[in-house]
């Protein structure tokens, strides 16, 4: 009777999982770059520069660079929309990175006040809670910001393979030290 149109149906594909330590490495690369730039502006306006830099790197760059920020490019990963298996649109990226950027900005404020350990722990807690959820998601390794924006991080062939290059360099150094 009625013929169903399957072009509207969402497709779900299984993607290779990205190890959590690689995700942490990519986050650390992006965090350090943005934190370094924002540190020139001091504590009074540094948080705003950090947030704007984070949003530029993780929304504009990701949108223009096939789902990869600097850290994701360095470690061969990209972010995709879980529902449509493609690079997320700007609104989805803004939702995702708004949450992650705010928690990263709080952690950067805690790092700037490194002398006060309790304040550092207090300000870094939202970032830790957000990212710890990825450890307990056995299927897709999605953190809180990934769940809200319905995105996932996948491995890709496009990138610099920094982690593999560093492993190879360390193996060469160890081999040369033994000889």
pLDDT for position 72: 96
Where do runs of H (alpha helix) occur along 56-161?
A: 61-64, 70-74, 90-112, 117-136, 144-149
Per the DSSP assignment, residues forming a β-bridge with 83 are: none
> What would the two tokens of residue 57 be?
């790197």
What are the boundaries of each domain within the chain?
15-178
Under 8 Å CB-to-CB from 57, ≥6 apart: which residues?
30, 33, 34, 69, 70
The model's pLDDT over 31-87, given as tens digits with 9 standing for 90+, comes to 999 999 998 887 778 889 999 999 999 999 999 999 999 999 999 999 999 899 999
Tally of helices (H runs) and strands (E runs) in the chain? 8, 2
């Amino acid at each position: 009777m009625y013929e169903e149109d399957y072009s509207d149906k969402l497709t779900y594909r299984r993607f290779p999982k990205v190890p959590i330590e690689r995700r942490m490495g990519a986050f650390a690369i992006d965090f350090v770059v943005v934190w370094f730039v924002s540190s020139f502006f001091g504590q009074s306006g540094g948080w705003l520069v950090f947030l704007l830099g984070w949003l530029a790197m993780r929304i504009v760059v990701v949108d223009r660079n096939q789902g990869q920020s600097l850290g994701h490019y360095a470690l061969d990963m990209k972010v995709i929309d879980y529902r449509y298996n493609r690079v997320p649109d700007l609104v989805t990226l803004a939702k995702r990175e708004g949450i992650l950027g705010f928690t990263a900005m709080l952690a950067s404020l805690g790092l700037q006040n490194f002398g006060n350990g309790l304040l550092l722990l207090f300000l870094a807690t939202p970032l830790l809670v957000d990212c710890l959820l990825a450890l307990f998601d056995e299927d897709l390794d999605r953190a809180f910001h990934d769940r809200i924006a319905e995105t996932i991080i996948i491995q890709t062939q496009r990138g610099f393979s920094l982690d593999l290059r560093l492993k190879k360099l360390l193996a060469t150094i160890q081999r040369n030290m033994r000889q």
